[in-house]
Structure 1
Amino acid sequence: MEKMIQDYSKYTEEDSKVWNTLFERQKKNLPGKANAEYLNCLTQLNDVLNPDEIVNFDKLNEYLIAENGWSVVVVPGLIPVADFFKLLSEKKFCSSTWLRKMDQLDYLEEPDMFHDIFGHIPLLMNADYARFVEEFGKLGVEYGHNKIVEKQLQRLYWFTVEFGLIKQDENTQIYGAGIISSAGETDHIFEDNVEVRPYMVDQVLDNDFITSEIQTRYYEIGSFEELFNSVGELEKNLKEEVNV
């Protein structure tokens, strides 16, 4: 995959306004809804990830690499699944460098930089969560050549990393990036027509999803330690599928 960079000089005044608007909106919307660990991680990253300036990948990577060995890699958008697995296995998270326009604040067909960075990066400061993402990538590299397994891994990623919920102090809270980066999704979680199920690997692997529709079913973990500990069960399921 050709190496790409973030050309920071190309960001416009509108880009800065979009970044600030999205960041400030979610910063106000998330307390009491997002998991406290995500909010703590976001605060920890404040010097390199804040509403006042569009995130600079060089500064962010310098901080991340020093703290936990992760880094952000620029991609043109959606990339082949095999490349995605490989990057995660190497503790590299993909991000585009483009931002939505002001008239696209509430809906995008393809994730932009705000989703990729604001939604995904903070929780990589949590050791259990980061280890889960890394091990997920390694399982993808090892078993993802099987098309059924590839689909199962996409489902698991969708219902955890993108749209996962967590129980905290008896309350359902958000940790999935697809929810955390979206004001509409954040508020939708707490509507009456939402079904929340306990996180069970075998059920998630069988649960398909449609990316273009708002979610009505979610899976809730008890802790990030539980999420990481589920890697063994995940691998067992994948092995069984490959060996059928």
Structure 2
Amino acid sequence: MKNNHSSIPSHLKSYIVDQDYNAYTSINHSCWKFIMNISKDFFKDHAHKSYLEGLEKTGITINKIPKISEMDKKLRKIGWRAVPVRGFLPPTIFMQFQAHSILPIASDMRTLDHITYTPAPDIVHEAAGHSPIIVNKSYSNYLKNYGQAASKAISSKQDHDIYMAIRLLSDIKENPQSSSKDIRIAEESLNQALENNKYLSEAAYLSRLNWWTVEYGLVGNINNPKIFGAGLLSSVGESYNTIYGDVKMIPLSLDCINYSYDITEQQPQLFIAKDFEHLNDVLNEYKAKMAYNIGGLKSAKEAIKSQSVCTFKLDTGLEISGIPTEIYGNTFEEFYKFEGPVQLSYQNKELDGHGGDYHQHGFSSPICNTLIINRLKDASINEKININFKSGINLKGVIKDKLIIDSKLITISFKDCKIIKGDKLLFDPDWGTFDLACGKSIQSVYGGPADIQSYLQFMDLELPSQIKPNYLTKYSNSEKKLIDLYDEIENKLNNDKVQSMIDKLDLEFKGDWLLRFELLNILDDKKDNDLISKLKLQIQEIAKDDNDLYNSIQRGLKTISK
């Protein structure tokens, strides 16, 4: 790849694709140009004031799809990066990009059929939607702050199932070759995933905050709201309906996380922040309640509910990552269990010999106290140990090895080890070496592994397809003919050939309104009034049954002043 990705964490690089700029057709560029021209005209009045400045400073071109490599050069000047990706990224991965101040930009371009709105990530949404407002320092700080919080959020198995169902549905809806049956089956799959989700995780609540701010946020006051959300900045239909339609406006508060959303439909209500600092205030209010800031028994139980990979960080700095399944204790944590594979880390770096391969069958440990840790630190290798924990747990075994880092006892390994609590067996000598995690408390609990690069092989993170779908790369003979006509426009068609092209459109492409719209930019309103009137009538007739498209075209006609 031409871009320099050497500074990007290696586990994120597998999601980066080649933009393949030459694969965009003249139809793609015309779609982009139409969207950007009416967007710029509309958002100069109805978006946050950073929008116009942001278009220039982030490398957003108006008449051609931007090159992400050029955007990356411009974004570096304001402390961000841009990389091309494809499709819906897993939320965990998207947030890690954002936490590293990297904007992942879906490089595919929406089809003409979905020019006013697409449920699938595309370059309009990611580039023209997310990029411009980043130039505002307060908003940029919010994005980074949010990314860091979201990368620590506990997500659930159900979250992953919903993500996969949404990804499938959005891809199918964007694909013009999908049948109504395909769409119905995908919708049923999503509805089933939503119905099966009885637990709202931290990640789910944060995704709602993201939706009502980063994607569909408004700022200012209820009487004169300004748009900053990427979903609105990239939807010429929904942004117009937001300002001129009947959308309920609600002052932003943390209560927005109690509002669910449908990614495939326009939103019935939107939230208005006072300013971008207000966004951070709301985020910080939620962060204070998150398990990674609280730790302890309550947070550990929350992680167990998630049925997903989480990390317990002990007060010594030891990090235990895997799927937690049990924790004992009424007031304080006493003993915990993870199912395998489990990783032990320190300062986000996997400890030698303590990866998922070694702890493939799971991991468990009692919580220690100061007396026990001091006693074990002073004990010798091969010394027999018999320890009673305050919780009633008894450990008997022979010290095999000790790991001390920064003068702290991190782990101690036992052979011939037996652990019981009353008549309950917690570890048997036949199970092999027992590794005691040395720590007096669980200080932090967060989603995902401590050293994701080393643990990634054990995680169920499906890569979105890195191959462009057929409908974006393989064209029928009729589609190729239409692309050729758009090419002629792109190559500055002479006025005397306009009539010939109109004849071809009338004969073979009666339903194509955008090429007719492009012809209006060529015609001279002083000489070609009849042709202009004919084209306008044809365009309006084609769009009359699609209200969003019709309104967008009317706005487009005003921008060319014909």
User: Shared fold by TM > 0.5?
Assistant: yes
- Choose from 15, 20, 26 the match for 2:39: 26
CA distance in 2, matches of 1:87, 1:126: 19
Query: What's 1:216 paired with?
Result: 268
Contact (CA 8 Å) 2:107, 2:123: kept in 1 or not?
Answer: yes
2:68 corresponds to 1:54: no
Query: What's 1:63 paired with?
Result: 74
The one-letter code of the counterpart of 2:250 is: R
Matched residue of 1:21: which SS? helix
More helix by share: 1
CA distance in 2, matches of 1:192, 1:97: 31
Query: What's 2:423 paired with?
Result: none
Q: Check 1:87–1:144 CA distance in 2 against 1; reply closer, same or farther (3 A cut).
A: farther
Q: CA deviation at 1:199?
A: 0.8
CA distance in 1, matches of 2:259, 2:46: 25
Contact (CA 8 Å) 2:221, 2:272: kept in 1 or not?
Answer: no
CA distance in 2, matches of 1:17, 1:165: 29
Question: Which moved further from structure 2: 85-94 or 100-109?
Answer: 100-109
Contact (CA 8 Å) 2:117, 2:238: kept in 1 or not?
Answer: no
- Choose from 225, 234, 237 the match for 1:172: 225
Q: CA deviation at 1:169?
A: 10
**Within 5 A, what are the aligned runs for 1:27-176?**
27-45=40-58, 48-66=59-77, 68-145=78-155, 148-167=201-220, 171-176=224-229
Query: What's 1:225 paired with?
Result: 277
Q: CA deviation at 1:5?
A: 2.1
Contact (CA 8 Å) 1:34, 1:174: kept in 2 or not?
Answer: yes
Contact (CA 8 Å) 2:142, 2:279: kept in 1 or not?
Answer: yes
Q: CA deviation at 1:167?
A: 0.8
Contact (CA 8 Å) 1:164, 1:174: kept in 2 or not?
Answer: yes
Q: CA deviation at 1:170?
A: 5.6
CA distance in 1, matches of 2:19, 2:245: 41
Matched residue of 1:190: which SS? helix
2:250 corresponds to 1:197: yes
Q: CA deviation at 1:230?
A: 3.0
Question: Which moved further from structure 2: 190-199 or 180-189?
Answer: 190-199
Q: Check 1:51–1:192 CA distance in 2 against 1; reply closer, same or farther (3 A cut).
A: closer
Contact (CA 8 Å) 2:44, 2:51: kept in 1 or not?
Answer: no
Q: CA deviation at 1:109?
A: 2.6
Matched residue of 2:46: which SS? coil
CA distance in 2, matches of 1:91, 1:127: 13
Q: Unpaired segments of 5 or more residues in structure 2?
A: 1-11, 160-200, 303-562
CA distance in 1, matches of 2:151, 2:17: 22
* 1:163-222 superposed Cα distances (whole Å, 9 cap, x missing partner): 001116961121111111111111111345321111102x01111111122111111001
Query: What's 2:346 paired with?
Result: none
* 1:61-81 superposed Cα distances (whole Å, 9 cap, x missing partner): 111112x22111222210111
Question: Which moved further from structure 2: 109-118 or 33-42?
Answer: 33-42
CA distance in 1, matches of 2:95, 2:57: 27
Normalised by the length of structure 1, the TM-score is 0.90
Query: What's 1:5 paired with?
Result: 18
Q: Which has the larger radius of gyration?
A: 2
Q: Which has the higher contact order (CA 8 A, sep 6+)?
A: 1
Query: What's 1:16 paired with?
Result: 29
Q: Check 1:82–1:40 CA distance in 2 against 1; reply closer, same or farther (3 A cut).
A: same
More strand by share: 2
Contact (CA 8 Å) 1:77, 1:95: kept in 2 or not?
Answer: no
Q: Unpaired segments of 5 or more residues in structure 1?
A: none
Matched residue of 1:142: which SS? coil
CA distance in 2, matches of 1:164, 1:236: 22
Contact (CA 8 Å) 2:109, 2:123: kept in 1 or not?
Answer: yes
CA distance in 1, matches of 2:223, 2:113: 37
* 1:54-107 superposed Cα distances (whole Å, 9 cap, x missing partner): 2011111111112x2211122221011111111110011111111122232123
> What is the aligned length?
240
